[in-house]
Amino acid sequence: MTQETIGILALQGNVAEHGYVLDQLGVPHRKVRLPRDLEGLSGLILPGGESTTMSKLMVFNELEDPLREALRGGLPAYGTCAGMILLADEVLDTRPDAVSLGAIDITVRRNAFGRQVDSFETDLDIPQLAIGGDQPPVHAAFIRAPWVERVGDDVEVLARVPESAGETAGTVVGVRQGSAMVTSFHPESTGETRLHEFFLRELVGI
């Protein structure tokens, strides 16, 4: 499909699952753990997992500042769940020393949907994914997921919790700003490839 290389932040979390999706799409990829791993990338995926653990390892590996600079320089990025937390401008209910890369002008609440036992799946309508006609909804898995409480003026909302979801209906769970996008849910865990395809097509340009 392409010779462009996508990085996957490989400090902790769903690294293999994102790699499998990219393999399905025929996109070369490599793991990113150290600053040198950022060289030559066309885009970066920040997976779901434990955001505080990722923060600690990012600092330990001296990756925080080089990654922040790469994002400021326009490196396209897609964050899922913990990746949303890392890419947000502001995070609520997290540790004071947690890394905030500030790639998207949003306020995110960590673990907003509850603990592991509160994990759930639902279908989301994401019109931006449609190409040449209607698309079936995205089946989304939320696992100790964050949500978006504030959206900046230049941020495009991609997904909200459906009206059938009760008290969380309408909650923002996917956004895009410039060369970065994030989702609260895990498309890599449900066999869904359209979010990755959208990222590659619209943000990376391949």
Binding-site residues for L-glutamine: 49-51, 110, 143-144
188 is catalytic: yes
Active-site annotation holder among 64, 186, 192, 196? 186
Cβ contact 147:204 at 8 Å? no
Provide the angle, in degrees to the nearest 10, between the axes of the packed helices 51-60 and 64-72: 100
Cite the annotated binding site by residue number. Answer: 49-51, 110, 143-144
Active-site annotation holder among 29, 81, 192, 196? 81
196 is catalytic: no
Residue 157 carries which side chain, given as an amino acid letter?
V
Active-site annotation holder among 188, 196, 197, 202? 188
The residues assigned a catalytic role are: 81, 186, 188
